[in-house]
Structure 1
Amino acid sequence: MSDRSSVFRKALDLPGQEPEQMEGAQLRKALEAQDLETCWTILSPRLPGQPGGHSQKNYLSAFKDFLAWAGTERLSMTDPAPHFGIEFQHYLEQKYGTSQASINTRLSQARRVYKIFRQLGVVTMNIDPFSILERSQVIPGHRREYYSQDEITRLLIHSEPAERVLVLLGAHTGLTTAEVLALKWPDLSLQTGTVQLPDRQLRMSEDLYRTIQPYAEKQGGGALFARPVPVFEFQDQNALRARIYALCLKANVPYRAWRGLRHAAGLRLYRETGDLNQVALQMGVDNPHLVMMYRDTVQEQDGEAAAQQ
């Protein structure tokens, strides 16, 4: 770790700069650069425990994971998107499964880190990406990784043409975010009713087929299907997530990550076919064991429905 006192020395050389302001500016740059060492040098004295002690080691492990997650997801910690806190909660739930204590501990540690960010001016005092979790409509321990059919219907009702196509590409076709961003108009064929991807060809649902034409006409007409331009104008995955998040707010549907739509497609396809190999093929998954969760969920849902009759 670097010499923390040098931070104060530099601050004293700058008129009008307090040590905390200097540290805040340095921490912001370190976060943007994914510089764990500098981040920890500034954060650790403000966190519970003694240097090298169990508590500090625990916080270091948690922050290292937090920073790496934000980098992998290309999410800014200094300018967090509205869905930042929810996305991190979903990541923790996927990582720790039913261990609610571990999830709560990691969320508590992340909240503590953002409290320090606010104190140092790394983010403004009104920025708390985890405050929305307190208003979550999802019952702890009962969160689903997929959107239900009723929720998808509500999303479609409140959607604009572009959003309607987007939702159906996820919920009916099972595309990943990367595949959505890479999709070009010639990849959509109204003649064959298919979506052409680099590694597989998918058949459109009737709803998706009927929805694409109005969207194309709004964007410029049928000539689009011959031009290799993107179907959507999202700059990156963050912009796509933000669009889904805003749509969920408008439709009063609990927000879940894009994989919630993709998982809905997997459930839908397994109900239609009962064939895990076919589900894996459509989802672009090599190993059918990776889609067994759809069979398990369908069996669980059918069991609950039978018990209620």
Structure 2
Amino acid sequence: MSKRHAEVQRALEEFDVEVALRLVRGHARRGVVSDHTLEAYRTGLLQFFRYLQEQRLTVLGFDRLEAGLYRDTLRRRHKAATVIARLAPVRQLYRALQIEEIAPGDPFAEVVVAKPSDAPPRPYTPDEIRQMLTCPLTPTEETLLLLGANAGLRRDEMLKLTWGDVDLAGGRLRVFGKGKKERSVRISRSLRAALERLREATGKPATESRVLGLDTTHQLVYALEKIVARAHVQWRGVHSLRRAAGSRLHRETGSLQAAQKLLGHASIETTTRYTYHDETHDATVEDW
């Protein structure tokens, strides 16, 4: 056994989180771990090490049965997204230990993390979004689609958006989300064009007027149902427009933090993957 292996084993026996973090960081798949992600990893490893101590288990003696029991413990305490986030650094740790030939295998290799019922609804695919946008639409319908699929707004955020919240010159939407938290969202080129057409069609509406002119969630859902039927795509719900926006931004930038900022999530744990932060995401959204 090498000196390094002996030092790592001793540190893991003492549940040294900083040593575990260095291992995870050193073998990160993308080679880059942001400070934000590192803190999320620290939280996950601290919880795992506390569990091991409570159960009188060890890192290197942990087996597949115990891995399943730990997952079930997390499920009882957290939502599916948090379970995945808390297990991510633990999986990365065992991967690093395998690479360095300190651990013989990954006890979580065959552990299914999320229950099927916990899986979020699928977002509309890029092809489905294109199909909906290319079918005959009113200015209101086009704007509704793009507020969800490009700007990533929630249903209530779409309904409450007023013309006073729209800054076409500055290319920004002022959005009030959960808990009345305010965020600024970049207006994409296609959304800007749709908003201009809608404003012209409604005859220069007052600043306090609602952009979509809809009063209830039922009206919003019904409006999207008609578009989906017209475009012959599968109904996935209004929220899947928002999921499509987040998925697209994450796919195109590789940045989970960019998607978090666009969608106004309070916690990055609502997502299941972590990556570097890309400050150029506003420019990406503007090009949509």
Which TM-score applies when normalising by structure 1?
0.47
Q: Find 1:218's aligned residue among 198, 201, 216.
A: 201
Q: Which residue of 2 aligns with 1:173?
A: 151
Whether contact under 8 Å (1:270, 1:294) holds in the other structure is no
Aligned counterparts of 1:197 and 1:235: Cα–Cα separation in 2: 17
Counterpart mapping for 1:47-196 below 5 A:
97-98=115-116, 145-158=122-135, 159-196=137-174
Whether contact under 8 Å (2:256, 2:273) holds in the other structure is no
Secondary structure of the residue that 1:197 maps to in structure 2?
Answer: strand
Q: Which runs of 4+ in 1 moved over 2 A?
A: 96-99, 291-295
Residue 254 to residue 97, structure 1, CA distance change in 2 (3 Å): farther
What whole-Å deviation, never above 9, does each CA across 1:210-239 have from its counterpart, x for those lacking one? 111111100113xx2x52111122221111
1:251 counterpart = 2:231? yes
Aligned counterparts of 1:235 and 1:209: Cα–Cα separation in 2: 23
What whole-Å deviation, never above 9, does each CA across 1:162-191 have from its counterpart, x for those lacking one? 111100000011100010111000111110
Which TM-score applies when normalising by structure 2?
0.50
Amino-acid identity (%): 31
Q: Which residue of 1 aligns with 2:241?
A: 261
CA RMSD of aligned residues (A): 2.4
Secondary structure of the residue that 2:116 maps to in structure 1?
Answer: coil
Q: Which residue of 1 aligns with 2:47?
A: none
Residue 294 to residue 214, structure 1, CA distance change in 2 (3 Å): farther
Q: Which residue of 1 aligns with 2:264?
A: 284
Secondary structure of the residue that 1:285 maps to in structure 2?
Answer: coil
What whole-Å deviation, never above 9, does each CA across 1:215-265 have from its counterpart, x for those lacking one? 1100113xx2x5211112222111101111111111101111111100000
Whether contact under 8 Å (1:173, 1:205) holds in the other structure is yes
Residue 247 to residue 97, structure 1, CA distance change in 2 (3 Å): farther
Give 2:131's aligned amino acid. Answer: R
Question: Of Structure 1 and Structure 2, which has the larger fraction of its residues in helix?
Answer: 1
Shift of 1:294: 9.4
Whether contact under 8 Å (1:279, 1:291) holds in the other structure is no
Whether contact under 8 Å (2:163, 2:210) holds in the other structure is yes
**Structure 1: which 5+ runs fail to align?**
1-95, 104-140, 296-309
Whether contact under 8 Å (1:266, 1:294) holds in the other structure is no
Q: Which moved more, 1:268-277 or 1:180-189?
A: 268-277
Give 2:183's aligned amino acid. Answer: R
Q: Which residue of 1 aligns with 2:209?
A: 229
Aligned counterparts of 1:196 and 1:255: Cα–Cα separation in 2: 29
